[in-house]
Chains A and B, each alone.
Chain A
């Protein structure tokens, strides 16, 4: 019965996240509240790692598949973006590549510098 119990714990955290998102006037989605609650629970040992790990790893592994329906749906929005798509595409490509490059390089710089000092 471990899967039922693990799924129960994950869904209770998800529901708690939904409640916070509903009652607090901040633009923060339930999944982010839920992630913070679960992390806090694990870090303070209120929720044991063993009580969520199997179902948690299963959900994370199938996560990429969950993005397929929404991505396929983008084609339905084609009419709304076809007049500006070239400019929007440039913005998306340029920012995605540079943000990844800049944030990765900055972190690498700090990690390596720390490695040298310590």
Chain B
């Protein structure tokens, strides 16, 4: 049986979809932030792989085909962006101000915490691009001399955390405006957070998509400056 499961091309993808649906079901039953479908799917997949003794490589050889569509899906984030174009133009200054402040806050906090924990320069630049989309973040980390695989891990954890905490954090800071929610979620937690913003509403999703692009580009420039500060 285990032999079959490690051989199967579709089992990994099947598991991911099944557990994501399970997460959606749990959330519809109990409205608790801990029943985040993405978190539920990750935890259940890890548990199932351990219980069935399936190595990660075997799972990934099938599951990678779902991730294969990530680039075209990210490209398609332009569609909700276009749907909200008028609103975007009307609020461009508010949106831009939020994203700029968020990108600077992210790098400044990494700087402060790196100094507090006495991190090496390598650890500091590994964490510097942590809030932006993986593909840009690992590029920055590599160019500045950071540890690229760890940057990728930190970026994904940031995204999942932003996806889980989006609603509680917005409540905590009294963020009620959909445009402001979109800026906050996208700037703090890139595409994985944006998946959550899409669930909250069309405006949130579109603004969050835009924030991925703008905060990513700002961090390309900002991280070069920040890399000299520690």
**Chain A residues at the B interface, C-beta cutoff of 8 Å:** 10-11, 13-14, 17-18, 26-32, 34-39, 42-43, 49, 52-53, 55-57, 59-77, 80-81, 84, 87-88, 90-112, 114
What total of chain B residues lie within 8 Å of the partner, measured CB to CB?
108
Specify which chain B residues have a CB less than 8 angstroms from the CB of A94 in the assembled complex: 109, 113
Q: Are B75 and A35 in contact (CB under 8 A)?
A: yes
**Cβ-neighbour of B20 out of A52, A59, A65 (below 8 A):** A65
**Cβ-neighbour of B94 out of A90, A91, A111 (below 8 A):** A111
In the complex, B225 has a CB within 8 A of chain A: no
- Contacts A106-B97, A111-B91, A111-B180: A70 and B105 contacting too (C-beta < 8 A)? no
Specify which chain B residues have a CB less than 8 angstroms from the CB of A106 in the assembled complex: 97-98, 101-102, 183
Q: Are A100 and B170 in contact (CB under 8 A)?
A: yes
In the complex, B52 has a CB within 8 A of chain A: no
Q: Are B135 and A100 in contact (CB under 8 A)?
A: no
User: What are 14 A-B contacts defined by CB distance under 8 Å?
Assistant: A17-B75, A29-B139, A31-B135, A34-B74, A59-B73, A63-B70, A65-B16, A66-B69, A87-B117, A100-B165, A102-B102, A107-B97, A107-B183, A109-B94
| A25 smallest CB distance to B (angstroms) | 11
Specify which chain B residues have a CB less than 8 angstroms from the CB of A76 in the assembled complex: 56
**Cβ-neighbour of B109 out of A11, A57, A77, A98 (below 8 A):** A98
**Chain B residues at the A interface, C-beta cutoff of 8 Å:** 12, 16-17, 19-20, 37-38, 41-42, 45-46, 49, 56, 59-60, 63-64, 66-67, 69-83, 85, 91, 93-95, 97-99, 101-102, 105-106, 109-110, 113-114, 117, 119, 123, 127, 130-131, 133, 135-136, 139-140, 143, 147, 149-150, 152-154, 156-163, 165-166, 169-170, 172-177, 179-181, 183-185, 187-189, 191-192, 195-196, 198, 205, 209, 211-213, 216-217, 220
Q: Are B161 and A35 in contact (CB under 8 A)?
A: no
Specify which chain B residues have a CB less than 8 angstroms from the CB of A108 in the assembled complex: 175-177, 179-180
Q: Are A103 and B20 in contact (CB under 8 A)?
A: no
Interface of A is mostly: helix
| A90 smallest CB distance to B (angstroms) | 7
Q: Which residue of A lies closest to B209 (CB)?
A: A35
CA A53 to CA B95, docked complex, whole Å: 25
- Contacts A31-B71, A59-B69, A60-B79: A105 and B136 contacting too (C-beta < 8 A)? no
CA A105 to CA B150, docked complex, whole Å: 30
Q: Which residue of B lies closest to A72 (CB)?
A: B45
Q: Which residue of A lies closest to B183 (CB)?
A: A107
Q: Are A102 and B101 in contact (CB under 8 A)?
A: yes
CA A109 to CA B220, docked complex, whole Å: 26
